[in-house]
Amino acid sequence: MPSSRHDALNQLFRDRPEFAVELLNDVLGLALPTGTQVKLEANDFNDRPSNDFRPDTVITLGAPHAPAHGIIVEIQQDRTESKRRQLPRYAAALWLMLRCPVTVLVICPDARTAAGFTGPITTELPGYTFQAAVLSPDQIPVMTDPKEIATHPDLAVLSVMAYGKDPAVTRAFITSLGALNRDNAAQYYEHAYSMASFAVQKLMEEIVSTTWPVHSPFAREHYGRGEADMLLFILSKRDMRLSEAQRAQITSCTDVDQLHRWAERALHATTADDLFA
């Protein structure tokens, strides 16, 4: 089952498919067409006759009925030979369907996995050697300039994923969200939070709690989420079973003081009902 990091990474490209073109051209040094329509496509297709394929995201560049280039975005968090050999199949199937050049962009959150997908893949078809465009964490820029972050928030999310243990990177990212409208700020924070390690998530919560007033909508939603996660963790360690309604009451709560009161009760409660008494 895909992880929250996988889903958040994939959603970046589904929300703004132009980001894939920017990464390929500006970070990985390719020369894909620019100044043309970029469109998210359905990600299920087949290789005619029978095999169905479902990569993470499919993007086309150019006119809908005459695309100039196809992009397949794959999020890979571990390297297996079967996953590696699936990539040339994806490329060939989409090429058959679009009849235009196809690039497979592989996003890897760790360098070891990226190394496993880098390099040519020789297939059993004579003359068909495939090579993906692989983005490794060490190719992601360290972003601490607020203006740069506000201009390229998608790339800044990846910077937090790769370098978020550095407080300067995480603090710059969160501070720069103030330059975006509230909905976009919340969305990018959510993506970065989902991709981050537990340690970086806690750092993000601490920064939010001091950067924004706790009464602000942004802080209530995201600092409160961290407190709710910690409360659920405490309850799980104490083997307390929650009903669906009780769990929803905790996860939907944005009142930080109330979450603190529940957390204090959780340390001594014997049943979940005691928590809400």
pLDDT at 236 (0 to 100): 78
Q: Where are the beta strands (DSSP E) in the chain?
A: 38-41, 45-46, 52-53, 57-63, 66-75, 102-107, 121-122, 129-130, 133-135
Higher pLDDT, 152 or 187: 152
Q: Is the model's pLDDT at 50 over the cut of 50?
A: no
pTM of the model: 0.73
Indicate the SS3 state at residue 1. coil
Higher pLDDT, 135 or 78: 135
pLDDT at 160 (0 to 100): 96
pLDDT at 90 (0 to 100): 92
Cβ neighbours of 97 (radius 10 Å): 18
Spatial CB neighbours of 107, under 8 Å, sequence gap ≥ 6: 9, 73, 74, 75, 76, 135
pLDDT at 202 (0 to 100): 86
pLDDT at 127 (0 to 100): 82
pLDDT at 214 (0 to 100): 45
Can you state the angle between helices 153-163 and 182-195, rounded to 10 degrees?
30
Q: pLDDT digits over 239-272, tens only?
A: 788 888 888 888 888 777 788 788 878 877 888 8
Distance in angstroms (rounded) separating the CA atoms of residues 122 and 124:
7
Q: pLDDT digits over 93-110, tens only?
A: 999 899 999 999 999 999
State what percent of residues in the chain have pLDDT above 70: 88
Q: Is the model's pLDDT at 149 over the cut of 90?
A: yes
Q: pLDDT digits over 191-230, tens only?
A: 998 899 889 988 888 887 666 544 445 555 555 666 677 6
Distance in angstroms (rounded) separating the CA atoms of residues 96 and 113:
29
Instruction: Give the gyration radius of the chain's Cα atoms.
Output: 22
